[in-house]
A = this chain, B = another copy of it.
Amino acid sequence: MTAPDPSLSYALPAPLPLDGGQALEGATIAYQTYGKLAADKGNAILVCHALTGDQYLASAHPVTGKPGWWERTVGPGKPIDTDRYHVICANVIGSCMGSTGPASEAPDGKPWGMRFPVITVRDMVRGLAALLDGLGIERLHAVVGGSMGGMQALSLAANFPERAARVLAIATTARHSAQNIAFHEVGRQAIMADPNWREGDYYGHDSTPDAGLAVARMAAHITYLSEAGLTEKFGRRLQDRSAKSFGFDADFQVESYLRYQGSGFTRRFDANSYLYITRAMDYLDIAEEHGGKLADAFTGHAMGRGARFCLVSFDTDWLYPTAESRHVVHALNAAGAPVSFVELSSPFGHDSFLLDVPALDRVVKGFLDG
């Protein structure tokens, strides 16, 4: 499922404290960097990845061989300009591309499986902060992320307010809604219903819970796209046939596309990581972590003592709709933190942050270079 990982990696020198009360010993963070770090270490940008993302931001994925997931945004002369900035992207704790997660060896030498502790987005961010410590980077030029990456950016700002000069959070939220949780729960149930899941103890077996993981991915994938985008891309067009088959093959292009998305995903992702990371996202409620009021999470940024913020939402994103970004912006305003906010128009739904939206390029560049 996961191939040998050519990433850089950093072994945390101390146990990582977790919100669940445990501490994760011997954890490793796998990461990649792009662009040169300045002598004063002042040009580092941390990009945080989304649920199924990884550290291969601007270089080919070692398993799929596909281009990095944000190559349109990160590179020489691009909106996040690697001629100018040192870009760091790390695989989150709990994932499966080299950072410690459920597929990793536990202290007893066997894979963690479901014995891996349940983590939170804040735990992921604690891991990232430990990595920055290890790299000797005290203050980032910026922390940037879309979707779960944006959650990490906001969590870093809330929990380590000195750590970044700029926070750019795209297509994201400070809390998972009931509908967000519901979709994730469907995915988890699909994985757990797969007999090959074996209560998470499938490592080393010939069969892995690919069928369940594929269904989970398919359900999630629909939420990443807009209804209008799906209609424009697929409509009711048939796949490689001129008439309906009156059977259960993938008659429609959208069915074929979803099946492809589902099965392709199983080749690069670990089902248990999917369980753990979706759980972390569902647990996200930054206000709750700070006494129940979101503004209180951001008091460290009052009067420009901390970071400047930029929030971006997309008008067709129904997973983390604009109202969620606006909620964060109101809290930042209440905390007296400097924030700009824009809702961009794009046909692509939640996935807009990964796709061809020139207005996003301008916002990203303007905010980071300004």
> Measuring CB to CB, which residues of chain A are less than 8 angstroms from any residue of chain B?
19-21, 114, 117-118, 175-179, 181-183, 185-186, 188-190, 192-195, 211-212, 214-215, 218-219, 222, 225, 227, 230-231, 233-236, 244, 246-248, 250, 252, 254-255, 258-259, 262, 275, 279, 282-283, 285, 288, 318, 321
| Contact yes or no, A186 B279, CB < 8 A | no
Copies in the complex: 2
Nearest-neighbour CB distance to chain B for A42, whole angstroms, equals 38
| Contact yes or no, A258 B182, CB < 8 A | yes
Give the CA-CA distance A181 to B244 in the complex, in Å.
Answer: 14
| Contact yes or no, A215 B230, CB < 8 A | no
- Given the complex, which residues of B lie within 8 Å of A215, measured CB to CB? 186, 189-190, 193, 215
- Given the complex, which residues of B lie within 8 Å of A193, measured CB to CB? 190, 194, 211-212, 214-215
Q: Please pick, from B185, B212, B214, B227, the residue contacting A255 in the complex, using a CB distance under 8 A.
A: B185
* Extra 9 A-B pairs, beta carbons < 8 Å, given A21-B246, A177-B230, A181-B255: A177-B231, A178-B227, A178-B231, A179-B222, A179-B231, A185-B218, A186-B258, A189-B215, A195-B195
Nearest-neighbour CB distance to chain B for A188, whole angstroms, equals 7
What are some 17 contacts across the A-B interface (CB < 8 A)? A114-B248, A118-B246, A118-B247, A175-B236, A178-B230, A179-B227, A179-B230, A182-B255, A185-B218, A185-B252, A186-B219, A186-B258, A189-B214, A189-B218, A192-B248, A195-B195, A318-B318
